[in-house]
């Protein structure tokens, strides 16, 4: 009971912002005295603090504002992707406190070597946390893969060439070896699109939309879905496989062995194929992906017809597939991430046109289409954020600091 009311007040403080005890009492339906006691405990645990005195000219005694104190605890998010690692620490207010990003050719390295690098960055981040007086409360790794979340194992990551990698155990062992103690916080792995969807939900442009579909354009198409404020995982954790919807039987061959899968139409390979001839540097697989994308963007900005045409076709195909998801989920928002976001200016028009034409519910079912503003940090942010769920559900997991010496 105490726990759930502590959680209630803490969540309210986070969602509604700083406010007086009296106002919290009215808004949560709790008693004033109860709120005082709960706030005192939250302050003691370093999760809340008193802010300014609101002397705003209203009659009566001025209110002593109470606000979220994020600085005492940190959530750590790690993203392992094809050519980079990101480690990022968030405070309870979702501000980025620490961010490291290093280029790493993950495909060329063994999983063990990659986890070594991850550990390296994590140790640096933990050191920085300690310096700032932050207690790390949890760490989540985002991987573009089918992930067995409960076991902490990456089952299959085609783009990393990983199969059955015990990520959680690997990281725990390495951190223990490096620091001499087992990490005191929980460590998890999850699919990158899932975590990015959570990141968008928690701190993106449409934060708080409790039903949203996140699509990320990379080599393939990744999907993450929030339903009723909770991440859709499915019975075995394999949900969100949207890339292989068969939308064009006469289309191109897909890596999955079939024909005309959605990702052959809207994945990066599809874009490059449509945008340029075979000998064009845009289609040179030895070049850096970002570089090739930049070339596409440059040509589009210059008004090159073929490029614009390719983008329009990708946009139409994106809208076609998105309409399926919008019909099925009726989300409040559709968030486009990955390269869909960086080339969004050219895709949004066709996407909206398709959605308007194909979504059965009136006015696209009230669904807004947004470009991700979190860019490539969405997954790491989502990962860092999940650590806070445990605190938001039960604030007593944050220990009361031992009395001053």
The binding site for a second copy (CB under 8 A) comprises 1, 146, 155, 209-211, 223, 225, 227-228, 230, 232-242, 244-249, 256, 258, 320, 324-325, 327-332, 358-362, 365-367
**Min. distance of Cβ 27 from DNA in angstroms?**
11
What residue 285 binds from a second copy, DNA, none (CB within 5 to 8 A, per partner kind)?
none
**Min. distance of Cβ 223 from a second copy in angstroms?**
7
**Min. distance of Cβ 137 from DNA in angstroms?**
21
Instruction: Give the residue, chosen from 12, 23, 161, 353, that forms a contact with DNA under the rule CB under 7 A.
Output: 23
**Min. distance of Cβ 149 from DNA in angstroms?**
30
What residue 124 binds from a second copy, DNA, none (CB within 5 to 8 A, per partner kind)?
none
**Min. distance of Cβ 316 from a second copy in angstroms?**
12
Give the nearer residue to DNA in terms of CB position, either 61 or 182. Answer: 61
What residue 149 binds from a second copy, DNA, none (CB within 5 to 8 A, per partner kind)?
none
Give the nearer residue to a second copy in terms of CB position, either 296 or 359. Answer: 359
Q: Per-residue x/- mask for DNA, residues 37 to 76, rule CB under 7 A?
A: xxxx------------x-x-xxxxxxxxx-----------
What residue 242 binds from a second copy, DNA, none (CB within 5 to 8 A, per partner kind)?
a second copy
Give the nearer residue to a second copy in terms of CB position, either 77 or 220. Answer: 220
Give the nearer residue to a second copy in terms of CB position, either 206 or 379. Answer: 206
What residue 21 binds from a second copy, DNA, none (CB within 5 to 8 A, per partner kind)?
DNA
* Residue 305: burial class (beta carbons within 10 Å; 0-12, 13-18, 19+): exposed
**Min. distance of Cβ 388 from DNA in angstroms?**
21
Give the nearer residue to DNA in terms of CB position, either 63 or 300. Answer: 63
**Min. distance of Cβ 158 from a second copy in angstroms?**
10
* Secondary structure of the chain in HEC code, one letter for each residue: CHHHHHHHHHHHHHHHCCEEHHHHHHHHCCCHHHHHHHHHHHHHCCCEEEEEEECCCCCCCCEEEEEECCCCEEEEEEEECCCEEEEEEEECCCCEEEEEEEECCHHHCCHHHHHHHHHHHHHHHHHHHHHCCCEEEEEEEEECCEEECCCCEEEEECCCCEEEECHHHHHHHHHHHHHCCCCCCCEEEEEHHHHHHHHHHHHCCCCCCCCEEEEEECCCEEEEEEECCEECCCCCCCCCCCCCCECCCCCCECCCCCECEHHHHHCHHHHHHHHCCCCCHHHCCCCCHHHHHHHHHHHHHCCCHHHHHHHHHHHHHHHHHHHHHHHHHCCCEEEEEEHHHHCHHHHHHHHHHHHHHHCCCHHHHHCEEEECCCHHHHHHHHHHHHHHHHHHHCHHHCCCCCCCC
Main-chain phi, psi angles of 114, to 5 degrees: -65, -45
**Min. distance of Cβ 402 from DNA in angstroms?**
20
Q: Indicate whether 102 belongs to the interface with DNA (CB under 7 A).
A: no
Q: Provide the binding-site residues for DNA, judged by CB under 7 A.
A: 1-2, 5, 20-23, 29-34, 36-40, 53, 55, 57-65
């Amino acid at each position: 009971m105490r726990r759930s009311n502590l959680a209630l007040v803490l969540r309210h403080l986070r969602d509604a912002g700083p406010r007086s005890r009296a106002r919290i009492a009215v808004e949560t339906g709790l008693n004033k005295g109860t709120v005082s006691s709960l706030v005192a405990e939250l302050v003691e645990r370093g999760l809340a603090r008193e802010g300014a005195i609101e002397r705003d000219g209203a009659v009566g005694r001025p209110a002593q504002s109470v606000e979220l104190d994020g600085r005492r605890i940190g959530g750590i998010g790690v993203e392992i992707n094809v050519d980079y690692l990101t480690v990022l620490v968030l405070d309870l207010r979702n501000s980025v406190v620490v961010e490291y990003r290093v280029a790493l050719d993950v495909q060329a390295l063994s999983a063990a070597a990659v986890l070594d690098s991850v550990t390296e960055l994590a140790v640096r981040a933990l050191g920085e946390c300690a310096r700032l007086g932050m207690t790390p409360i949890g760490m989540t790794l985002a991987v573009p893969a089918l992930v067995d979340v409960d076991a902490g194992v990456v089952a299959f990551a085609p783009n990393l060439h990983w199969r059955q990698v015990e990520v959680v155990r690997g990281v725990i062992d390495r951190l223990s070896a490096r620091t001499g103690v087992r990490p005191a916080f929980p460590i998890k792995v999850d699919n990158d699109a899932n975590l990015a969807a959570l990141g968008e939900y928690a701190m993106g442009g449409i934060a708080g939309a409790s039903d949203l579909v996140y699509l990320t354009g990379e080599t393939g198409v990744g999907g993450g879905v929030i339903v009723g404020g909770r991440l859709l995982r499915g019975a075995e954790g394999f949900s969100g496989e949207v890339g292989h919807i068969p939308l064009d039987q006469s289309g191109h061959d897909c890596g999955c062995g079939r024909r005309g899968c959605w990702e052959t139409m809207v994945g990066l390979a599809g874009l490059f194929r449509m945008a340029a001839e075979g000998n064009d540097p845009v289609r040179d697989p030895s070049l850096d992906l970002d570089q090739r994308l930049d070339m596409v963007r440059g040509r589009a900005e210059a008004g090159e017809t073929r490029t614009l045409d390719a983008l329009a076709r990708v946009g139409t195909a994106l809208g076609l597939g998105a309409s399926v998801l919008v019909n099925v989920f009726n989300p409040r928002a559709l968030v486009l991430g990955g390269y869909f976001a960086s080339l969004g200016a050219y895709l949004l028009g066709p996407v909206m046109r398709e959605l308007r034409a194909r979504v059965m519910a009136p006015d696209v079912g009230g669904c807004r289409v947004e470009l991700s503003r979190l860019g490539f940090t969405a997954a790491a942010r989502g990962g860092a954020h999940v650590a806070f769920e445990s605190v938001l559900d039960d604030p007593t997991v944050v220990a009361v600091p031992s009395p001053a010496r």
